[in-house]
C-alpha cells in the first residue's frame, strides 16, 4: 500500500509536469494548486503517528504542528489562486 509521503510526491510531480507542459495561464495556476496540494499531503503524512491520539494528555500524542501549518497553507493557497485567476480574467484573453 502506498503511504502519504509517496502519494504527496507523486501528486507534486504531476503538478510540476502540468506546470512545465501547459502554456495557458489558467492551466498553470491549476498546476501550481496541484503542487501545493501534493505538498500538503506530504507534510500531513509526515505528521502521522501509527496509533496516535489527540494531543490532550494521551500516551502517544500526534504532533499538531504539521496539521496547523498545512491548514494555514490551504488558506494562503486559496487566496493566491483567487488573486492569480482574477488577474488572468482582468487581462482577458491575453494570458488565458
92: left (phi over 0), alpha (psi -120 to 50) or beta: left
Q: Residue 1 has what pLDDT?
A: 82
pTM above 0.95, yes or no: no
pLDDT-derived band at 76, boundaries 50, 70, 90: very high
Q: Residue 95 has what pLDDT?
A: 62
C-alpha cell at 39: 505538498
pLDDT-derived band at 41, boundaries 50, 70, 90: very high
pLDDT in tens, 1-35: 889 999 999 999 999 999 999 989 999 999 999 99
Domains (ranges, CATH) in the chain?
4-94 (1.10.287)
Amino acid at each position: 500500500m502506498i503511504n502519504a509521503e509517496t502519494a504527496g510526491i507523486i501528486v507534486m510531480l504531476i503538478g510540476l509536469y502540468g506546470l512545465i507542459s501547459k502554456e495557458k495561464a489558467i492551466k498553470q495556476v491549476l498546476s501550481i494548486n496541484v503542487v501545493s496540494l501534493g505538498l500538503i499531503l506530504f507534510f500531513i503524512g509526515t505528521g502521522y503517528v501509527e496509533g496516535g491520539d489527540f494531543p490532550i494528555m494521551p500516551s502517544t500524542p500526534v504532533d499538531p504542528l504539521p496539521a496547523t501549518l498545512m491548514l494555514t497553507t490551504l488558506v494562503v493557497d486559496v487566496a493566491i489562486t483567487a488573486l492569480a485567476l482574477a488577474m488572468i480574467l482582468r487581462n482577458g484573453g491575453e494570458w488565458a
